[in-house]
Chain A
Amino acid sequence: MSVLRPFKANDLFRFNNINLDYGITFYLTYLQRWSDLCFTQESPRGRLQGYILGKAEGAQTEWHEYRRLSLARNMCQRLEFASDEIYKGYFVDLYVRCNNALAIKMYEGMGYSVYRRVREYYGNLGVGKGGRDEEDAFDMRKCLSRDMAQRSIRSNGRDMIVSAHDVS
């Protein structure tokens, strides 16, 4: 629960407790192209809690949610709703660090499943404490109503490994 509202350019001044990893152009590109897929979550006491930026890929056939920066079920639901209703997509997908067990569990609870593992999606970190799981990402997907045959998902996703170059 929280206030779910559109992400606005001026929110960038307030996202100091949340990752703000990209340049102005990154955020403005999303807002200028897919403003209806960009949401932010504000606590009842006015603190910004997270945001989600979605993007529609291709000719309204599929689309990707890209940067998940806070655990926010509402935002995912909203995103699924918007992609279903507005963009008529087949599926929703998101990327998550392979060692982020908490988030993966949460997404699974929301109906997402692993579609593939993307090697070095978060860059090559060298052999550190986190190892491979820290630099690889799971591409997790959930079918939308249009994909009635459930062709956008598969059960053995964790074994399907692709390199970061192969995903856009």
Chain B
Amino acid sequence: MSEAALERQIRPIYDALDHGSNKSAINACNKVLKKYTNNTLVKALKALALTRSQKVEEALVLCDEILAATVTDDSTLSVMTHVLKGLARNSDMVAMFDNAFKQQPQSEELGAQTFFAHVRTGNWKSCQQVATRMHKLFQGDRYVYWAVVGAILQANDLGTPPNIRTLLYKLAHRHVTSCPTPSYMAVDRFHLHLIILQELQLWDEANTLLESDIGKSICSASLVCNETRREIWRKRGLYKDEGERAQERIKNNDRNWLEFISVIDATFASMQQPDVSEEEKSECSENIAKTRDFLTEIAKVDGSNNRSASLALLELEKNAFSHGISSDESTLVDSMENYFSQFGDKACCFEDLRPCVDLCADAKLRWISFLASQESSFATTGDLQRVINVRKLQRISLTASELSTDKELYLTSTYIEEYMAGLELGSSLPVTELQPVDDLAILVGHAFVSLWTMTKDESYLYNAAAVLEFALTKSRMSFQIRLLLVRIYRLLGASSLALDHYRAINIKQVQNDTLSHFLLTRALTFSLSATGDLTYPSECIESSQIYVSNSQDTPDFIIRAFTSEKYSQIPEFVSFDDRLENSLQRDVVKLEHVRMRMTHEPINSDLIDMELIELKFVFDRFHHDNRDFGMLPNYQPACQPSLNDQTLMFGNSTGQGWLWYFIKIYIRAFQHASDLDDIVEEKLLIGDRPKKSPEPEVQLPLRERLAIRKPEEAAELTADELQLMEWATAVSDWLEPYHDYTRPPPAVVLAEANKQNELRTGLPLRGVDLKALNGDANANGHAKKDEDAPPVKEPPQLVAQFFEHMHARFVQLQQSQSLPSDLLHVATLTQEAFLLFAVESHRFKTASVVKIYKLGALVQSLKDIRSKACTVLKTMSNDLLKIAEVAGSAERRKSFVESCKPITDFPELHHDFVLNIAKNVGESRKKVLEGVGKGMVKICTNYGQ
């Protein structure tokens, strides 16, 4: 058949792939391959179709075949790029292009592809080398800059020691200066040049560049270059020059706040060093006067159109006092009062003034009485905003001695009154707009939360919920109100309501990373997955989609930035990719999902092996904490913890320490239950291993790392979680010798995996030489070992008594009127321990294992513990069902409404409205308490025997 005929046959394969019909693509490939057995393009297309239909093993076999011969034709290479990307085998991709480029060193396209393959793996050293080679072969300035970026990125890598970093920047510098065209030919090249000079502190060269006409013109048009220029100026200590430059710009109507910062910095330039002479002090004093005149003039011209100069005046007086130039704060308070008079009707006024309110006694007294003298008016939204700003500024200045339940109760009614008074002002706004009064409702929330923390009386949280729910009926887009409700409902154990509000915020894209902590932190507490309700596990999976799209898309943009020479963007893109890829929240959610998964999926070797491998990957990462806690506003008095801290469920969130502690529990339990050791894992692994953190601790052997305990990490756990940790450690220590002794050797495990694979795909496991592994071990199962079996020991006391202890704790909480979330916490941790115990004893369920290794006595101890645990779980479940019944009862609703006495006097917050909230809260609590209770019984039935 001719070339053309072959092409005619291949086209339908592409079509099928384009339309997502992988099955017909595979069939079409098979048909062609009958005639052209060795056509690599068709093989590659088949591999792609197989990958897309999740037939990974078969795809891998084909990949190996294709890659064994060097591929050089464009179509096959491009198809293979997709295949290997899909299989996460970037290292294979690198090798493929490396080989191809070696074969055809004259191909510029192959060189570029090789470079991009290295970009994908983040191997910046190779990037730099390939780019240098490309420059030699094909000339072209861009390759010089590719090499420069490669060197800079390698230098910025966490694992690069400081001396090598400097060396790499020097290399980059050599590249840039040896390039025939000067860097100022393109803005992004110029920027790169500046960064290098900044790092190497080559100030003279930087000066020449920046002071040249072209340099000046680039900086005036390019914000990114100007930003670097400003940094360089500051590092050189040229505050005065920069200040003068900034004054010029301000005179020319530039109101960028950065210019004002430069003016302030220049004013205090002489005060920067540690020992300041009297002379320098008086010089600074003169400067202050000059700057004051300058800013006052600008402020006068700008009036209320622009607040920059007025705000800069505040900064000036604040610094003058903190540097000891002005002796008292009265001028500062003057400026604050002026500022408030002029900009009090703007929402930003509070934020602007906040850093200034930490005043000494006299000044504070004056400031407070100034605020108190402000009259409340609700004639315009500007007036309303003034009231809001006064209330916020007053609230943050409250002292511990002023705070009492009476005071807070008085404040709540003031806030509500003013909220109702201002409501009318926003009545004509479209529903998509925020109401101008929203912040007063949020202040009510603050005061009630504060009352709750003072008294531990949960009825204050009911009040908060009712007022905030009311405010939402007026302003449904307010995410701040919703977030506060999410927090309050979680505390109250009304988890379905928390979920509803969280969903209504409509979290999107990267926000899944930064905000999901509001909902998913310790979500196991509320998960009903044991009863088959997979709401929370699905939330975990959905919120994790962003990481998939990041790893699919972002590397492409890094590559595109290279081709379009947008060098200024590349380090940002790389860091963005890294921050999402190695996000702390990603792995906290991952672990939360594993915890939930165990409650509803059968615990078998598939689950154990897979999660073990994945958690070990997680354990090797260098994490970035992208969680945003600043989304909850904070107007609590300075003497109190922030609203965020006050409303965190169980008083803390789950950060790195929590993740490390829990991951240690799970890795160890899974390790025991799994037959995978390192040799087997290596053989069965499909994609590349993720980049390992350069931290020294991560380089330690896994066994040692698992044993590390740090107080600062432990501090992120609740007391009950710490109990679980101690118990899990004791269980693992106790059972480890038996696991190690009875675990089948790698040869046996691989033989079994091989058999399974043959059954599934008809092909043996690739890359496994069974004979070599086998040695003298017989492959039919549990061979007796030479060393003696470890003697069976009684379980340590801690292990045996844990469940009774947790029960006692549960009873104690019930008697002390604690929040439902606290009860659920203890119950779900007890359940978690039970499931971990099922994992740890999984191996000893096989009768033959027990018989061969004579572990009868051990199994008996396990059985005893399990049956005790079951009794405890069933009792807890029973109690939870009873509490659920009460939570949903009419009496409880009634008492909810009664305890909302502080607010029901307001006609808008009438009895029926509050009753409705009471009903929702009651039903939601009932649902979760009942669901968790029922789930516990189900788990007992599954693993109780």
- Chain A contacts to B: CB under 8 angstroms: 1-6, 8-10, 12-17, 20-25, 28-29, 31-33, 35-36, 39, 43-45, 47, 74, 78, 81-82, 85-86, 99, 129-130, 134
Residues of B within 8 A of A99 (CB): 430
Residues of B within 8 A of A14 (CB): 514, 628
The answer, among B256, B561, B569, B579, for a CB contact under 8 Å with A13, is: B579
B311 touches A130 (CB 8 A): no
B430 touches A22 (CB 8 A): no
Chain B contacts with A in 331-357, Cβ cutoff 8 A: 348, 351-352, 354-355
A13 touches B308 (CB 8 A): no
The answer for the CA separation of A14 and B629 in the assembled complex, in Å, is 11
The answer, among B222, B348, B354, for a CB contact under 8 Å with A36, is: B222
B223 at the interface (CB under 8 A from A): yes
A45 touches B354 (CB 8 A): yes
A86 touches B568 (CB 8 A): no
Given A32-B561, A33-B564, the answer on whether A6 and B308 have CB atoms closer than 8 Å is no
Given A8-B572, A24-B549, A86-B221, the answer on whether A13 and B510 have CB atoms closer than 8 Å is yes
The answer for the CA separation of A47 and B354 in the assembled complex, in Å, is 13
The answer for the CA separation of A31 and B560 in the assembled complex, in Å, is 11
- In whole Å, how far is A28's beta carbon from the nearest beta carbon of chain B? 4
B557 touches A25 (CB 8 A): yes
B509 at the interface (CB under 8 A from A): yes
A82 touches B221 (CB 8 A): yes
A10 touches B554 (CB 8 A): no
Given A10-B576, A12-B510, A24-B553, the answer on whether A1 and B308 have CB atoms closer than 8 Å is yes
Question: Quick one: closest A residue to B355, CB to CB?
Answer: A45
Question: Quick one: closest B residue to A101, CB to CB?
Answer: B430
The answer for the CA separation of A22 and B550 in the assembled complex, in Å, is 13
Residues of A within 8 A of B200 (CB): none
B308 touches A5 (CB 8 A): no
B515 at the interface (CB under 8 A from A): yes
A85 touches B221 (CB 8 A): yes
Question: Quick one: closest B residue to A100, CB to CB?
Answer: B430
Residues of A within 8 A of B576 (CB): 9-10, 12
Q: Give per-residue flags for B555-578: 1 if the beta carbon is below 8 A from chain A beta carbons, else 0.
A: 001001100101011001101100
* 26 A-B pairs in the complex with CB atoms less than 8 angstroms apart: A1-B255, A3-B258, A4-B223, A4-B256, A6-B224, A6-B568, A10-B575, A13-B510, A14-B628, A16-B515, A22-B509, A23-B509, A23-B553, A24-B553, A29-B557, A32-B564, A32-B569, A33-B564, A35-B224, A36-B223, A36-B224, A39-B223, A45-B354, A74-B256, A78-B223, A82-B221
Give me the 3 closest cross-chain CB pairs, A-B, nearest first: A1-B308, A9-B576, A28-B557
Question: Quick one: closest B residue to A81, CB to CB?
Answer: B221
B568 touches A44 (CB 8 A): no
Given A3-B256, A31-B557, 13 new contacts (CB under 8 A)? A1-B255, A1-B306, A3-B257, A5-B227, A13-B510, A16-B515, A20-B508, A20-B511, A21-B508, A23-B509, A32-B557, A33-B566, A45-B352
Question: Quick one: closest B residue to A8, CB to CB?
Answer: B572
A13 touches B514 (CB 8 A): yes
The answer for the CA separation of A25 and B576 in the assembled complex, in Å, is 12
Residues of A within 8 A of B575 (CB): 9-10
Residues of B within 8 A of A21 (CB): 508-509
Residues of B within 8 A of A24 (CB): 509-510, 546, 549-550, 553-554
Given A1-B255, A14-B628, A47-B351, the answer on whether A130 and B569 have CB atoms closer than 8 Å is no
B572 touches A9 (CB 8 A): yes
The answer for the CA separation of A28 and B311 in the assembled complex, in Å, is 34
Q: Give per-residue flags for B26-66: 1 if the beta carbon is below 8 A from chain A beta carbons, else 0.
A: 00000000000000000000000000000000000000000
B631 at the interface (CB under 8 A from A): yes
- In whole Å, how far is B642's beta carbon from the nearest beta carbon of chain A? 16
A28 touches B553 (CB 8 A): yes
B626 at the interface (CB under 8 A from A): yes
Residues of B within 8 A of A32 (CB): 557, 560-561, 564, 566, 569, 573
B187 at the interface (CB under 8 A from A): yes
Please report whether the interface of chain A is mostly helix, strand, loop or mixed according to DSSP.
mixed
Q: Give per-residue flags for B504-528: 1 if the beta carbon is below 8 A from chain A beta carbons, else 0.
A: 0000111101110000000000000
Residues of A within 8 A of B432 (CB): 130
Given A16-B511, A21-B508, A24-B554, the answer on whether A31 and B569 have CB atoms closer than 8 Å is yes
B307 at the interface (CB under 8 A from A): yes
B431 at the interface (CB under 8 A from A): yes
The answer for the CA separation of A35 and B256 in the assembled complex, in Å, is 19
Given A10-B579, A44-B352, the answer on whether A16 and B222 have CB atoms closer than 8 Å is no
Question: Quick one: closest B residue to A2, CB to CB?
Answer: B257
Residues of A within 8 A of B579 (CB): 10, 13
Given A1-B307, A22-B509, A44-B352, the answer on whether A9 and B569 have CB atoms closer than 8 Å is yes
A130 touches B430 (CB 8 A): yes
- In whole Å, how far is B437's beta carbon from the nearest beta carbon of chain A? 18
The answer for the CA separation of A147 and B258 in the assembled complex, in Å, is 32
A6 touches B564 (CB 8 A): no
The answer for the CA separation of A9 and B578 in the assembled complex, in Å, is 12
Question: Quick one: closest A residue to B577, CB to CB?
Answer: A9
Residues of B within 8 A of A45 (CB): 351-352, 354-355
Residues of B within 8 A of A86 (CB): 221
Among A12, A33, A129, the most chain B Cβ lie within 10 Å of the Cβ of A12
The answer for the CA separation of A93 and B126 in the assembled complex, in Å, is 44
The answer for the CA separation of A25 and B551 in the assembled complex, in Å, is 11
Residues of B within 8 A of A16 (CB): 511, 514-515, 628, 631
B513 touches A13 (CB 8 A): yes
Given A1-B306, A9-B573, the answer on whether A25 and B553 have CB atoms closer than 8 Å is yes
Residues of A within 8 A of B510 (CB): 12-13, 15, 20, 24
Residues of A within 8 A of B549 (CB): 23-25
The answer for the CA separation of A31 and B558 in the assembled complex, in Å, is 11
The answer for the CA separation of A81 and B256 in the assembled complex, in Å, is 15
Residues of B within 8 A of A43 (CB): 348, 351
Residues of A within 8 A of B354 (CB): 45
A5 touches B221 (CB 8 A): no
Residues of B within 8 A of A12 (CB): 509-510, 576
A10 touches B509 (CB 8 A): no
The answer for the CA separation of A42 and B148 in the assembled complex, in Å, is 31
Among A28, A31, A43, A47, the most chain B Cβ lie within 10 Å of the Cβ of A28
Among B355, B511, B569, the most chain A Cβ lie within 10 Å of the Cβ of B569
Residues of A within 8 A of B187 (CB): 36
The answer for the CA separation of A10 and B628 in the assembled complex, in Å, is 13
The answer for the CA separation of A40 and B311 in the assembled complex, in Å, is 20
- In whole Å, how far is A2's beta carbon from the nearest beta carbon of chain B? 6
Question: Quick one: closest B residue to A99, CB to CB?
Answer: B430
The answer for the CA separation of A10 and B550 in the assembled complex, in Å, is 13
Residues of B within 8 A of A10 (CB): 572, 575-576, 579
- In whole Å, how far is A43's beta carbon from the nearest beta carbon of chain B? 6
Residues of B within 8 A of A82 (CB): 221
- In whole Å, how far is B188's beta carbon from the nearest beta carbon of chain A? 8
The answer for the CA separation of A25 and B557 in the assembled complex, in Å, is 8
